[in-house]
Structure 1
Amino acid sequence: MATSSSHIDLSLIDFDVLGAWMDAHDLPRGRFEQVQPVPGGTQNVMVRFERGGVPYVLRRPPLHVRAKSNEVLRREARVLAALDGTDVPAPRLVAAQTEQEPVFYLMEPVDGFNPTLGLPEPHASDPAIRQRMGLEAAVALAALGRVSPAVLPGFGRPEGFLERQVPRWMGELESYGRLDGYPGPEIPRLRETAAWLERHTPAAFTPGIMHGDYHLANLMFSREGPWVAAIVDWEMCTIGDPLLDLGWLVATLPSAREQLPELPAPEELIACYAELSERDLSAVDWYVVMACFKLGIVLEGTHARACAGKAPKDIGDLLHQTTLDLFARAQTWISR
C-alpha cells in the first residue's frame, strides 16, 4: 500500500477488512494504491485511493464518533443512491456498508474543484466564467428541487416543516445559555425577526428534497467551464421546502463574493431558479430571511462555546460578527 499524507490517521481504516468487503461486493481486486486524504471537510474522514486501477473515495466517521455520526452517513448513502440517475450533479455511490458500525461508503471521485479553495484556469482569468458559476449554482439547485421526494420514502418530516422552523432555532439559541460564560445572544432585532417570520410563514409549500447547507463551499465545479460537477456534503439533507435552499444560497452570497466578486446579484440567481422551477417564489424574501435567521443562530453556537472556553476566541468573535451581519441582512430583506 502506498504511503499517505500525515494529516490523517490511516489506522482509522483497516484496509484488510476493507479489501475483503470490496471483494465480497465484486469490486476490482488488488493492492491499495495512491492513498491520500481528501481535504475540505472536518466532520467526517474522507480518503481517496485506487484499487485494481479504479479510483474511489471512502467516507467514514471521525475518530471521535459523535452521537449521530453513523446515522448521518447512513442517510447520506441513501440520498446518493436515490439521486443516481437523476439530473442532480452529485457524487456517484459505488457501495455502502450500513449494517454495522462504523458505517462507511465508497463513491466515485468527482473531477472538479472547490472554488473557495482556489480557481484553476480558465476560471481564474475569465470573469464571464466566474459570473456564470453563480447561475449554474442556481441551475443545479433547481434540478434538485425537481426530484420527487418519493425516491426517499419516510425521509424527513415535511408536515409542518415551515411552522417548526422559528421555534426550532429559537430553542437552539436558548440552549446555548447552558454554557458557562456565555452572556446570552446580543443580537439586535432578534425577536422582531422571529416574530416577522412567524407572521409571514407561507401558508403552503410543495415538499421536496433539501440539501440543507447549500452554498458555494459545498459545490464542486467542472474544470472545463462554469458548470457544477457535484453538490457535496449531504449530511443535512431532508424532505422539506427546497426554497429554503435557494434562500440559503442568496443569504450566503456576500461571503461567496469574497472568493468570486463577479457572482450575479440575488435577483439574477432567483430569476434563474424561477425559469427552471414550477415552485411559487412569491414569498422568496421570507426564505432569505429565514436562511439568515437560521444560519446566524447556528454560527452563534460557536461564539457561545468560545465564551465557555470550548472553541477558539478569535473564531467565536468572527462568527458572532457574521451572525450580526446576517441579521442585518435579514432586516434589509424584510424592509424591501
Structure 2
Amino acid sequence: MDIESLSRWMDAEGLPGAGELAEVSPLSGGSQNELYAVTRGGAKMALRRPSGHKVETGTKVLLREALLLQALSGTDVPHATFRGVSSDLDVIGAPFYLMDLVDGWSPMGGGWAAPFDTDLAARGELAIQLADGAAKMARVDWKAQGLEGFGKPDGFLERQVDRWLSHLSAYKFRDLPGLDEAAAWLRDHTPRTFEPGIMHGDYQFANVMYRHGAPAELAAIIDWEMATIGDPLLDLGWVLVGWPPEGDAMKYARYLDYSGMPSRDDMLEHYARVSGRDVSQIDYYVILARFKLAIVLEASVARHVNGEADERVARFGDIVLELMEFAASLSRTTTLR
C-alpha cells in the first residue's frame, strides 16, 4: 500500500488527523475484503478494500457498502462512522473506504468476552441487543436516507427460492436431503405482502461488535457486503436459525454457547416492539434463512471438493446438511398455514 499517496488523499478529503500515517496494520477482513487499522494524529480509522485477487469483482460490492454506511449516518443503527471513499486506483491500487475504528469486541474473537463468559444473565442481554440492532435497521426510512435503487424490493420474497436454487445449480455436486421439501413449502407459504427495508443479509453474532464490559451494548453492525433493500424479517430469521430450544438439537451449525439466551418469544417480542413489525410468520423466515444459508455455504464446500478452498471450510459440509434438514423439519412441524 502506498502510504504517502493515502496520506495525501486523506489530507485532500479533510479527514481527521494530519500528515503522515503513524500506523497501517492488517486486521481480520474475511475472504472478500482486506481490513487495515489506520492511525494518524490520534485519529483511529479502518480501511476496507477488496482482497488483492478480487479487486475487479469486489469493487461494486465495496462501493455499495460505502454507500450504505453513508446512508446510515444520522440513524440510530449502530455502525462505524463513515469517513470517505475512493474508486481511484491511483491512490492505493484498489478502491477503498475509510470508517472510524470501532472500539469493541466480537464473539468471533474467541467466544464471549468477560463478564459474559460467566454471567449468563448478562450474556442474555447480548442477544436482546442483537435483536435490537435488527429492529433498528428495519425501521429506517431507507428512501429518505438516499437508498432508492439500492435494491429491488418488488417481488423480493417471490424470487428467493428460484434465485438460490439457480445459485446452487452452478456448483451442485451432491444431493441435499430436504432441499426439495423446503423449497416446495417456501413457495406455498410466501407472504403475500411485506414492508421493504434495509436488510443486512448475514445478520448474526459473527457480524456485530459489542462495547467492552457490562451492560451489553451493541457498538456496531459490521460486514455489510450482502446488504440490500428487501424484507428485514429475513435478518431476524437469520438470527433464529439455531435458536433454542429447537436449535439445541443442532450439532454443527452453532459456533457459540447459547446458555443464558432469552427465549425465542422474548426475542420476537423485543423485535416487534422496537421495529413495529408483525412477527407472526417468523417460521417462514427461519426456514428461508436455513435454506439460503445452506446453499451459500455449499458453494464453499464445492470449492473445497474441487481443491480451490482452504481445508478449514471442509467442516461446512456437515453444517449444510444440518441446515437443510432443519429447514425441512420446521416446514413439517410449524403451525404456520
- Is TM more than 0.5 here? yes
Structure 1 equivalent of residue 234 of structure 2 = 244
Determine which of 107, 126, 146 is the counterpart of 1:115: 107
Determine which of 255, 266, 269 is the counterpart of 1:268: 266
Q: Amino acid of the residue matched to residue 18 of structure 1?
A: L
- Aligned counterparts of 2:308 and 2:103: Cα–Cα separation in 1: 37
- Kept in 2, the 8 Å contact 1:115–1:259? The answer is no
Q: Give the CA deviation at 1:175.
A: 0.9
Q: Amino acid of the residue matched to residue 261 of structure 1?
A: S
Give the % identical residues. 42
Stretches of structure 1 lacking an aligned partner (at least 5 in a row): 1-12
Q: Deviations over 1:195-235 (max 9, x none)?
A: 10000000010010000100111010111321111000001
The 10-residue stretch of structure 1 (51-60 or 248-257) with the greater mean CA deviation from structure 2: 248-257
Q: Amino acid of the residue matched to residue 236 of structure 2?
A: L
The change in CA–CA distance for 1:125 and 1:228 in structure 2 (over 3 A counts) is same
CA RMSD of aligned residues (A): 1.8
- Aligned counterparts of 1:159 and 1:320: Cα–Cα separation in 2: 33
Determine which of 35, 43, 55 is the counterpart of 2:32: 43
Q: Amino acid of the residue matched to residue 3 of structure 2?
A: F
Normalising by structure 1, what TM-score?
0.89
- Aligned counterparts of 1:29 and 1:158: Cα–Cα separation in 2: 42
**Matches for 1:152-301 after TM superposition, within 5 Å:** 152-177=147-172, 182=173, 184=174, 186-225=175-214, 226-253=216-243, 254=247, 255-256=253-254, 258-301=256-299
- Aligned counterparts of 1:15 and 1:315: Cα–Cα separation in 2: 34
The 10-residue stretch of structure 1 (105-114 or 326-335) with the greater mean CA deviation from structure 2: 326-335
Stretches of structure 2 lacking an aligned partner (at least 5 in a row): 248-252
How many residue pairs get matched? 317
**Matches for 1:14-33 after TM superposition, within 5 Å:** 14-27=2-15, 28-33=17-22
Q: Deviations over 1:48-73 (max 9, x none)?
A: 12112211111111111254311111
- Kept in 1, the 8 Å contact 2:11–2:19? The answer is no
Q: Deviations over 1:227-251 (max 9, x none)?
A: 1110000011100000011111111
The change in CA–CA distance for 1:314 and 1:65 in structure 2 (over 3 A counts) is closer
Normalising by structure 2, what TM-score?
0.89
Determine which of 124, 129, 136 is the counterpart of 2:129: 136
- Aligned counterparts of 2:188 and 2:88: Cα–Cα separation in 1: 44
Q: Amino acid of the residue matched to residue 64 of structure 1?
A: H
The change in CA–CA distance for 1:220 and 1:251 in structure 2 (over 3 A counts) is same
Q: Deviations over 1:277-322 (max 9, x none)?
A: 2222221110000000000011111222222222245633x21210
Q: Give the CA deviation at 1:263.
A: 2.1
